[in-house]
Amino acid sequence: MSHLLRALETFSALGIAFVSLSEQIDTTTATGKMVFTVLSAVAELERSLIAERVRAGLRNARAKGKTLGDRVSWWTPLRSSAYALPGHRGPRLHANSE
């Protein structure tokens, strides 16, 4: 199902009990395992819903003709023309490099 359940199985195989003190979940009991499984399923559902909304938003933006991705900075054309100035040797990696 999810990586949380696989981790819980790995812990169990190693003889490690998972007990959450703040949420009162003890996976050594049947009820604790059930609560952990339900919370894991809810987390997986939430991740899937977020991914669906992001994909729908991107489709909607593309349909409206929006440009997606990095935008060209206002500085890019200025920087390119500054490099073309006489005597300029290109970008410097360090402040004190030649």
**Is 32 domain-assigned?**
yes
pTM for this entry: 0.57
Structural domain including 62 reads 3-68
**Is 83 domain-assigned?**
no
**Is 87 domain-assigned?**
no
pLDDT 10s digits, 61-83: 999 988 777 666 666 666 666 66
How many separate domains does the chain show?
A: 1
**Is 94 domain-assigned?**
no
**Is 81 domain-assigned?**
no
**Is 39 domain-assigned?**
yes
Task: Give the helix ranges, DSSP H, for 64-98.
Answer: 75-83
**Is 97 domain-assigned?**
no
pLDDT 10s digits, 79-88: 666 666 666 6
* Average pLDDT of span 47-72: 88
Where does the pLDDT of residue 20 fall: very low under 50, low under 70, confident under 90, or very high at 90 and above? confident
CA–CA gap between residue 45 and residue 77 (Å, rounded): 45
